[in-house]
């Protein structure tokens, strides 16, 4: 079971420090995280750096998480034709294994949906988290973005996008960077 680390529970600096302290080969991991950040960034915005210009490992983790979140919100706007606003978050799972435990991802999504005023049933959130779990395996850990629509009833639905990628922490351990966003479409109004 992976250890869950989220910016919802901790600040991003603490998240990055927790993961960085477990890394066995900082150079390799930093290079993978830099590559993940670049993969989630549109090509026109890439900054090309040489190996000695690699940022500190904690910065690489934060950059990968932020780039993943930017990618899902940009994809949401392209796919669904609307801005998701602040209904987006990211996280990282330390010691993630393929088909690993996603309960903590579900927990983060559930808290965020509550904070965003989205009254989603557990099936909708479970579908989003399971998509991350399944697509990480299908893509061999390489970065990916997936989307969907969950029907609440005949009038309303939740449009969502998730992003994900894995990186090496130690030879036996992977980390999972992920991000997600969601918004209700139709006649439904936010609760509260």
Q: Which residue has the tokens 């479409």?
A: 185
**Sheet containing 144-151, strands listed edge to edge, beginning at the edge strand earlier in sequence:** 3-6, 88-96, 173-185, 157-170, 144-151
**Domain total for the chain?**
1
Q: pTM to 2 decimals?
A: 0.79
Q: What is the pLDDT along the chain (192 residues), one digit of tens a residue?
A: 334 444 444 566 777 787 888 777 877 888 888 888 887 876 544 444 444 455 678 888 888 999 999 999 999 999 999 999 899 999 998 888 777 778 889 999 999 999 999 988 899 999 999 999 999 999 988 899 999 999 988 888 999 999 999 998 888 888 899 999 999 987 544 444
Q: Long-range contact list for 26-33, CB < 8 A, 24+ apart?
A: 26/57, 27/54, 28/168, 29/57, 29/60, 29/167, 29/168, 29/169, 30/54, 30/55, 30/56, 30/57, 30/60, 32/167, 32/168, 33/57, 33/60, 33/61, 33/63, 33/64, 33/167, 33/177
Q: Is residue 190 part of a domain?
A: no
Domain carrying residue 23: 3-185
The distance of Cα 92 from the centroid of its chain, to the nearest Å, equals 7
Using the structure block, give the residue that is written with the tokens 């139709």. Answer: 186
């Amino acid at each position: 079971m992976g250890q869950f680390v989220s910016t919802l529970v901790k600040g991003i600096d603490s998240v990055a420090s927790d993961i960085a302290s477990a890394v066995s080969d900082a150079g390799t991991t930093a290079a993978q995280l830099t590559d993940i950040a670049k993969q989630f960034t549109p090509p026109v915005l890439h900054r090309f750096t040489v190996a000695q210009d690699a940022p500190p490992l904690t910065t690489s983790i934060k950059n990968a998480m932020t780039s993943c979140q930017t990618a899902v919100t940009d994809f949401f706007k392209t796919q669904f034709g609307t801005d998701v606003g602040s209904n987006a978050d990211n996280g990282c799972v330390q010691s993630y294994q393929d088909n690993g435990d996603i309960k903590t991802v579900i927990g983060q999504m559930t808290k965020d949906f509550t904070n965003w005023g989205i009254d989603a049933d557990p099936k909708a959130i479970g579908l989003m988290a399971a998509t991350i779990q399944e697509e990480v395996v299908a893509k061999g850990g390489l970065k990916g973005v997936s989307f969907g629509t969950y029907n609440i009833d005949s009038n309303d639905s939740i449009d969502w996008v998730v992003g994900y990628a894995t990186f090496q922490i130690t030879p036996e351990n992977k980390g999972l960077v992920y991000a997600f966003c969601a918004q209700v479409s139709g006649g439904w109004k936010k609760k509260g």
